[in-house]
């Protein structure tokens, strides 16, 4: 879901709100343009569809972004 350009962009964002906003934009894009790839990403990222589907149905992209970011932070903590 995220490509090399996204990783460079994320590196230059200075606040958590900016990061969440960027992730939210990517979620919106992939849900509209390539939902299959989005769900594949969720699977690889270990985020269960059961948590995400109600948020998609209610168009709560912010909460989806927060779940993705929280999962990424947990993964980064394990890298230390």
Angle at the Cα of 44 from the Cα atoms of 10 and 42, rounded to 5 degrees: 70
- Tens of pLDDT, residue by residue over 47-70, are 988 999 999 999 999 999 999 999
Residue 75's pLDDT is 83
How far apart, in whole angstroms, are the C-alpha atoms of residue 55 and residue 63?
A: 7
How far apart, in whole angstroms, are the C-alpha atoms of residue 24 and residue 4?
A: 17
Question: Model pTM?
Answer: 0.81
| % pLDDT > 90, the chain | 55
The answer to whether 20 and 65 have CB atoms below 8 angstroms apart is: yes
Strands (DSSP E) contained in 1-80 are: none
Q: How confident is the model at residue 16 (pLDDT cuts 50, 70, 90)?
A: confident
């Amino acid at each position: 879901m995220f490509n090399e350009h996204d990783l460079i962009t994320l590196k230059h964002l200075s606040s958590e709100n900016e990061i969440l906003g960027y992730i939210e934009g990517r979620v919106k894009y992939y849900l509209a343009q390539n939902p299959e790839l989005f769900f594949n990403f969720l699977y690889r990222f270990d985020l269960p569809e059961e948590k995400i589907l109600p948020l998609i149905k209610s168009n709560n992209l912010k909460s989806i972004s927060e779940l993705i970011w929280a999962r990424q932070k947990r993964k980064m903590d394990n890298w230390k």
